[in-house]
Amino acid sequence: QVQLVESGGGLVQAGGSLRLSCAVSGRLFGGYAMGWFRQAPGKEREFVAAIGWIGGRTNYADAAKGRFTISRDNAKNTVHLQMNSLKPEDTAVYYCAVRWGDYPSTSNDYVYWGQGTQVTVSS
């Protein structure tokens, strides 16, 4: 089994910054990509950012480009999402996910998911 635990969520004012973290543990074999998704109240879960295993290849949703940065530390089995210039529309529950292989997919095809961490941006 693979477990993912997100942390770092909270309440911030518009224009502020927040850094999310995700710790991965369990039976991990070979390389795997990691991604961040979010789900706002009354809306479907959407892709935010993803990163590959070795080369650090990344993909970002249009809404995240220029504001969010995803990074990972394979030795510690962690992934981070640095969020700057936050907007009220960024308010959502953010989920960390794992996908086998090195491709940082932008689709909802990840295998393991965390419980989510709440991010609230006030205006």
3-class state of residue 88 by DSSP: helix
CB 53 within 8 A of CB 31: yes
3-class state of residue 47 by DSSP: strand
Retrieve residue 120's tokens: 């609230």
Q: From the CB of residue 79, how many other CB atoms can be counted at a distance below 10 Å?
A: 27
- Identify the pLDDT of residue 27: 85
- Identify the pLDDT of residue 81: 98
Predicted confidence (pLDDT) per residue in 62-120, tens digit: 999 999 999 998 888 899 999 999 999 999 999 999 999 889 999 999 999 999 999 99
- Identify the pLDDT of residue 10: 98
CB 49 within 8 A of CB 60: yes
- Identify the pLDDT of residue 47: 98
Predicted confidence (pLDDT) per residue in 1-51, tens digit: 899 999 999 999 999 999 999 999 998 877 899 999 999 999 999 999 999
Predicted confidence (pLDDT) per residue in 43-78, tens digit: 999 999 999 988 789 999 999 999 999 999 888 889
- Identify the pLDDT of residue 114: 97
CA dist 28 and 31 (Å) reads 8
